Structure 1
Amino acid sequence: MPSYLLPTSNGVDWSCEQPPSYDVPNSRQILRICVNLKYLIDKVVPILYDEKLIMCDHSRILNLHVITLAKEACGGKKDDPKSLHKYQSVVIFSLLKVCSWNWELAASELHNAELYYLRASAAQQLCKLIIEQDETRDAQFLFIQMLCQRYVINENDEDSVAQNALELAMDMHCTTVIGSSGYQRCLKWLWRGWIVQNKYDSKSYVICDSVSSSKFTSHFHPDRLKTPMYQNIITIIFSFVFLVLYTIVVNGKDSQEVQGIDFLEGVFYFFMLGSIFDEISKCYHVGWSYLGFWNSFNDTMYFIISTSMILRVISVSPIQTRYPAEYWDKISYRILSCAAPMVWTRLLLYLESSRFVGALLVVLKHMMQESIVFFFLLLLIVLGFMQGFIGLDSSDGNREITWPTISNLLRTVLGAGSFDMFDDFAPPFASILYYSYSFVVSVILLNILIALYSTAYDKVIDNSVDEYMALMAQKTLRYIRAPDDDVYVPPLNLVEVCLSPFLHFMPRKMAKRVSTFVLTILYFPMLFVVAVKEVREAKRVCYNRMKKQEDDANESDVAWDLTDGYVDDADGWIPRGNTSGIAATQKKNKRTLKLQKEAELSDPDFRVKPDWFKSVKCSVQPVDNGFRSGIGWESYDLYREITKQREESDKQTEMIQTLTKMVKDLSIRLDSQEK
């Protein structure tokens, strides 16, 4: 395309569908890499700088030379790409470990806490710069080896649990790393199922080999259900079904007598058991890192419904208890009714893909975490005043209004306390004590709670974009972090539990075929929709690879790039041919470029002179040069002049050395001729 037209998109070659295999450093080698990187960061950030000088994208402190040193700190043979890849693949993981070490130092050495926090921020920013640099050089190596590969580090003579950089950054809540373009792009590939778990090793990841396939059968397979996006859709559908079943069950009691468990109530309990089993399974495989605020929310709801379910089973069973069956039946429905707010609120967890709902959930999460401080203070104060009132009540040898007093203290927290009951109770001590309690709770503690909520809100809103990306990272990894060869979305995971004893005694290949057949039957409608969708996407991927661009290029059509975008409509819902969309896209681009060229050449005086582009380059601040050298723009002219003089001096020195050598050789020849 002529240079005077608008720029076109460009990218890297993704012709290789399977990543090359690399060796993984052992735990002791990773420890040495972490120590080297900590030494580098300690020297680069020896004192307190302004954080903006470090966290900007073209920092003079974390410049290109520091990035190079960070990679060299990993070791490896310089002229051997395989050796370099082996050790440099762990650089992101190691920098995150260095960040965690600095956080630990900040917690233990408070006098230098600000410096350690700054070094931790520098480690995160260095991660971001390396990720964004390698994204343009070798994105496939970045995604598979640097971010998705799990590594083990030896700390205090103990090997840690295998973890990759994606999971570690999310667990540490490193929003700087999570917000980098390469990290988010890797998550996007995982979300779409373009990066999948290795079928030979469920703990490692590979590029999906069917991304560019236009065959319907390549995408109509239960393995595609491992894709987080499809799991999320199925989970949302089942959540609405769960809500409908809950509404029917909780409002279906129309008799004082004990009714048997009907079909819909049984299905509701089936959903419940499947969700509980899924939570236990993921917690077992992932560990404590899986537990979070919203997991606790779900688990509380499951506990309430499970309690109701147990009492309901007791009411219809022949078991003889102290109370009649009608009593347990009534208590069961009352407990089940208390779970209604949580059942409806739970739907928000599956709508967090929306940025507004996601930010709202993050704010609520931080507010609830900040409430822990308030409730801790409240508990101590309530216990103190409660003991005082109990002492006043028992001072005459009798305890008469202990429980009414305790109830009144708890109601005061909600603003419903009463002063009347203390008028005739141990005057004037009880009144003085209660007035003091009301002042502390209503004036001091409640204002502290408001201040904590305000702080949490400001903290999230000021960093809402990074917090939302962190939330989406957690959502994506939640579906794939627990390795599973066959994905049965709850409550259908109970089907897998029932099949497991039979599959265990079958040959491995036969067991896989049976499981695949069962999954195909269970998810047939979803698999058909997925296959149609992915076949259409495969056409665009083929077009991108033909143009030597990234697989996720040309997904949108922007005004400033005349050759981006893809004509999806030409393929139809079911593509009619292998080249229909590609031909339509090339035809569209050719026509667009022709019209643009004709419009620009219609007036000979319209074209901008080539000198204008040179003037623009000379007019802008030398940010890239300062990033490479570490020198600010205000000193760069002097630096450039010194560099030129140094280069000229080196050339003159080289010429003198060359002439000296020639004179010596000539004198040696003359001496030999004279002899």
Structure 2
Amino acid sequence: MTELVLPTANGLSWVHETSENLEAPNSRQILRIALNLKYLIDEVVPILFKESEITSDQSRILNRKVLKLTREACGGNQKDERSMRKYQSVVIFCLLKVCGWYWELASSELHNAQIYSLRATAAQQLCKLIIEEEEARDPHFLFIHMLCRRYVINENDEDQEAEGVLELALDMHSTIVIGSSGYQRCLKWLWRGWIVQEEGDASTFVLCDSVPSSQFSRHFHPDRLKTPMYQNIIQVFFSICYLVLYTVVVNSKNSREVDPIDAAEVVFYFFTVGSILDEMNKIYNVGWNYVGFWNAFNDSMYLTIAASMILRIVSVSPIQTHMSSEYWDKVSYRILSCAAPLVWCRLLLYLESERFIGALLVILKHMMKESIVFFFLLLLIIVGFLQGFLGLDSADGKRDITWPIVKHLFLTVLGFGGFAIFDKFAYPYAALLYYIYCFVVSVILLNILIALYSTAYEKVIVNALDEYMALMAQKTMRYIRAPDEDVYVPPFNIIEIIITPLMHLMPKNTAKEFSNTVMTIIYFPMLLFIALKEIREAKRVSYNRLKKLEDDANETDVAWDLTDGYVDEEDGWLPNNELTGIAATQKKNKNSLKLQREAENSDPHFKVDKKWFKNVRDSVQPVSDGFHSGLGWENYGIFSEVKEGNKRAQKKIDELSEMVEKLTKLLEKSHISN
């Protein structure tokens, strides 16, 4: 059989059945596993090493033996695979908990902070190695039980809240774990809706059984709206609508009189109220871990618009106030106008999927956090100098220029200060005090701010890829963490609030059917798009399973693999034949192999000798040797020389043995002849 120069897809054996339902270990058992792992890491990392020796994928410290011991620390019946899986399912969760313990020790015992920080890094690296190892062994078990499922650990005789590895790594900002291939792949499956929360149990996740189905009814269902990707599409659409409505409302004021609230304003306020209620619901369900930079940004925008909305309602209502309706109407529109930068910048939240913009947003977030230190110092400086100036102003028994002083101190921070106001005020004390203030603010504090921004920029850029992956993980988990039986994206969540009391009066099944009917009506175009899109994807999944490949294989057609990719152009959006795409792909692969084989056989001297492949394998560096044995790179040269010396010695021994054997035969022959 002709050997090809270009490789073809071999594929891995892929089990498509859902991993068996395993009972979760109890909180005390999880605590014992975590204690075992802490003892292991304490012994494996007894002293300070270089961090690169820990984080290397082929580390000689966290080698194959340590990985084996890490799994064995979970206990279980060694002869029962189900028992082993039950307890090993929490190994990554426990390692992250141990990492958190080391961080607590590093903050409380500063004299040992470096060693504790290194051990925390070792715990995260072990998580990454186990994730990648389990991904090659059993991806379904990794996704469902090790990463997605939520577990409870007992700490200080109290059961903690249930957490999963996906959210725990995100809350800890463990970029080592987040950047692992298995973690990112699990997020991709969650993003597409291939892994979903089990109905009635938000702590358990299952594989979506409709993924390989080509039936329209299996995909045209409101439950598919729980998929983060589709929720994101709907939110982007509504955000654009929100921006258009805002533009119409803020520019609709064209008279001095108070105009009644029109239809555009009603819809705009409907959107705003729905978004505020959705934020409150998510904070209530998720807790403070949900609050982040963009949440604070959105909440500031919503509060500004809500203030404008309240004043606008006051202006058209019959409520009598000490100010006229025209005044409140004018203030309302002015406050609404101030929200324009927030409304437009909000679109960046939905453009973060682009790597460049995502990294830019991460840098911006870090800079804003670093600014807190600067503004805290600035506030103390301003208050201190302000008290000094106010003391100078009141030294004569009266205060003349208190407000101009306050205004001037803040203008100085922005670079618009001047010395004229202090030349005739409490000379020379006020002028001297202001000189010192300008020096501290302009020379010291502003340079501190520049240094903080530079540090934040460097911290993100050096680790830009992992920071971007953490940002995308946070975006995916935004749609997963807040449990929601029925997905009503704002402003449709107001409809949910209206019909909820009515649903409580119905039987459970009837209420569910009623809610599904309502969502089918309001989301009909989106559900139609989802069904047609997923039917196309189902054919590729069916083809992958036919070839015993992963469900997410053959998504791209690369140049170095002649049998990858999937031909779906012939399917169309409304396919008539279920085997059209599979047949077209097989035909394409067969034709590619045929053309490649003919081109290679056109010249009998073209092929590379088979020994070339063996020479390549023999000449590669022994990268994995240290990972398996724990030996350092510095010993490889010595051991290679010893190995070669042993080969030469063995060759000499074989030659001497042959000579002795020949001499023995000659002596025997001469003895017989005599």
Same fold (TM over 0.5): yes
The one-letter code of the counterpart of 1:314 is V
Counterpart residue number, 1:173: 173
The question of 1:246 aligning with 2:212 is answered no
Counterpart residue number, 1:374: 374
Deviation by residue 1:613-641 (Cα, 9 ceiling, x = unmatched): 22112111111222111113553587699
Contact 2:315–2:326 (CA<8 Å) still a contact in 1?
yes
Counterpart residue number, 2:415: 415
The one-letter code of the counterpart of 2:351 is L
Q: In the TM superposition, what is the alpha-carbon distance from 1:3 to its structure 2 partner?
A: 4.6
Counterpart residue number, 1:661: none
| SS of 2:585 mapped into structure 1 | helix
Deviation by residue 1:629-674 (Cα, 9 ceiling, x = unmatched): 11135535876999999xxxxxxxxxxxxxxxxxxxxxxxxxxxxx
Paired residues, what number?
646
Counterpart residue number, 1:530: 530
Contact 1:17–1:209 (CA<8 Å) still a contact in 2?
no
Contact 2:358–2:471 (CA<8 Å) still a contact in 1?
yes
Counterpart residue number, 2:158: 158
The question of 1:115 aligning with 2:120 is answered no
Q: In the TM superposition, what is the alpha-carbon distance from 1:495 to its structure 2 partner?
A: 0.5
- The worse-fitting range, judged by mean Cα deviation, of 621-630 and 504-513 is 621-630
**Measured at CA, do residues 559 and 153 of structure 1 come closer, stay the same or move farther in structure 2, by a change above 3 Å?**
same
- The 2-side partners of 1:257 and 1:55 are apart by 68
Contact 1:386–1:406 (CA<8 Å) still a contact in 2?
yes
- The worse-fitting range, judged by mean Cα deviation, of 382-391 and 47-56 is 47-56
Q: In the TM superposition, what is the alpha-carbon distance from 1:417 to its structure 2 partner?
A: 1.1
| SS of 2:495 mapped into structure 1 | helix
Counterpart residue number, 1:93: 93
| SS of 1:569 mapped into structure 2 | coil
The 5-angstrom pairing of residues 399-438 of structure 1 reads 399-438=399-438
| SS of 2:395 mapped into structure 1 | coil
| SS of 1:613 mapped into structure 2 | helix
The 5-angstrom pairing of residues 76-225 of structure 1 reads 76-225=76-225
Note the residue ranges of structure 2 that are not aligned, 5 or more in a row.
Answer: 646-674
| SS of 2:624 mapped into structure 1 | helix
Counterpart residue number, 2:445: 445
| SS of 1:203 mapped into structure 2 | strand
| SS of 1:75 mapped into structure 2 | coil
The one-letter code of the counterpart of 1:403 is W
Counterpart residue number, 1:609: 609
The question of 1:302 aligning with 2:298 is answered no
The 5-angstrom pairing of residues 190-589 of structure 1 reads 190-589=190-589
TM-score (norm 2): 0.94
Contact 1:131–1:180 (CA<8 Å) still a contact in 2?
yes
Counterpart residue number, 1:660: none
- The 2-side partners of 1:634 and 1:614 are apart by 26
- The 2-side partners of 1:634 and 1:453 are apart by 40
| SS of 2:362 mapped into structure 1 | helix
Contact 2:74–2:91 (CA<8 Å) still a contact in 1?
yes
Counterpart residue number, 1:33: 33
- The 2-side partners of 1:589 and 1:626 are apart by 40
Q: In the TM superposition, what is the alpha-carbon distance from 1:222 to its structure 2 partner?
A: 0.8
Contact 1:622–1:633 (CA<8 Å) still a contact in 2?
no
- The 2-side partners of 1:633 and 1:366 are apart by 38
**Measured at CA, do residues 634 and 427 of structure 1 come closer, stay the same or move farther in structure 2, by a change above 3 Å?**
closer
The question of 1:58 aligning with 2:58 is answered yes
Counterpart residue number, 2:635: 635
- The 2-side partners of 1:637 and 1:345 are apart by 58
- The worse-fitting range, judged by mean Cα deviation, of 535-544 and 316-325 is 316-325
Contact 1:231–1:489 (CA<8 Å) still a contact in 2?
yes
Q: In the TM superposition, what is the alpha-carbon distance from 1:368 to its structure 2 partner?
A: 0.3
The one-letter code of the counterpart of 1:181 is S
Note the residue ranges of structure 1 that are not aligned, 5 or more in a row.
Answer: 646-675
- The 1-side partners of 2:199 and 2:571 are apart by 31
Contact 1:13–1:545 (CA<8 Å) still a contact in 2?
no
The question of 1:70 aligning with 2:70 is answered yes
- The 2-side partners of 1:139 and 1:358 are apart by 28
Q: In the TM superposition, what is the alpha-carbon distance from 1:5 to its structure 2 partner?
A: 4.2
Deviation by residue 1:18-45 (Cα, 9 ceiling, x = unmatched): 3310010111111111111111111111
| SS of 1:23 mapped into structure 2 | coil
Contact 2:567–2:584 (CA<8 Å) still a contact in 1?
yes
- The 2-side partners of 1:2 and 1:102 are apart by 57
| SS of 1:490 mapped into structure 2 | coil
- The 2-side partners of 1:508 and 1:356 are apart by 47
Q: In the TM superposition, what is the alpha-carbon distance from 1:325 to its structure 2 partner?
A: 1.5
| SS of 2:459 mapped into structure 1 | helix
The one-letter code of the counterpart of 2:274 is G
- The 2-side partners of 1:165 and 1:427 are apart by 65
- The 1-side partners of 2:10 and 2:242 are apart by 47
- The 2-side partners of 1:239 and 1:435 are apart by 49
**Measured at CA, do residues 83 and 2 of structure 1 come closer, stay the same or move farther in structure 2, by a change above 3 Å?**
farther
- The 2-side partners of 1:389 and 1:518 are apart by 65
Which stretches of structure 1, 4 residues or more, deviate above 6 A after TM superposition? 637-645
- The 2-side partners of 1:228 and 1:10 are apart by 32
- The worse-fitting range, judged by mean Cα deviation, of 514-523 and 322-331 is 322-331
The one-letter code of the counterpart of 2:212 is S
- The 2-side partners of 1:382 and 1:418 are apart by 16
Contact 1:173–1:470 (CA<8 Å) still a contact in 2?
yes
Q: In the TM superposition, what is the alpha-carbon distance from 1:116 to its structure 2 partner?
A: 1.1
Contact 2:245–2:268 (CA<8 Å) still a contact in 1?
yes
Q: In the TM superposition, what is the alpha-carbon distance from 1:360 to its structure 2 partner?
A: 0.8
Over aligned residue pairs, what C-alpha RMSD do you find?
Answer: 1.7
The one-letter code of the counterpart of 1:120 is A
| SS of 1:491 mapped into structure 2 | coil
The one-letter code of the counterpart of 1:346 is R
Contact 1:621–1:633 (CA<8 Å) still a contact in 2?
no
Q: In the TM superposition, what is the alpha-carbon distance from 1:165 to its structure 2 partner?
A: 0.1
- The 2-side partners of 1:122 and 1:15 are apart by 31
The one-letter code of the counterpart of 1:261 is I
Deviation by residue 1:72-124 (Cα, 9 ceiling, x = unmatched): 11111111111111100001111111111111111111111111111111111
| SS of 2:163 mapped into structure 1 | coil
Deviation by residue 1:174-220 (Cα, 9 ceiling, x = unmatched): 00100000000000000011111112323321111010001111111
Q: Percent identity?
A: 68
Contact 1:221–1:527 (CA<8 Å) still a contact in 2?
yes
Q: In the TM superposition, what is the alpha-carbon distance from 1:11 to its structure 2 partner?
A: 3.7
Contact 2:18–2:140 (CA<8 Å) still a contact in 1?
no
Counterpart residue number, 2:669: none
| SS of 2:112 mapped into structure 1 | helix
Counterpart residue number, 1:653: none
- The 2-side partners of 1:617 and 1:177 are apart by 31
Q: In the TM superposition, what is the alpha-carbon distance from 1:418 to its structure 2 partner?
A: 2.0
Q: In the TM superposition, what is the alpha-carbon distance from 1:280 to its structure 2 partner?
A: 0.5
- The 1-side partners of 2:607 and 2:395 are apart by 99
| SS of 1:467 mapped into structure 2 | helix
Counterpart residue number, 2:662: none
- The 1-side partners of 2:147 and 2:215 are apart by 30
**Measured at CA, do residues 149 and 533 of structure 1 come closer, stay the same or move farther in structure 2, by a change above 3 Å?**
same
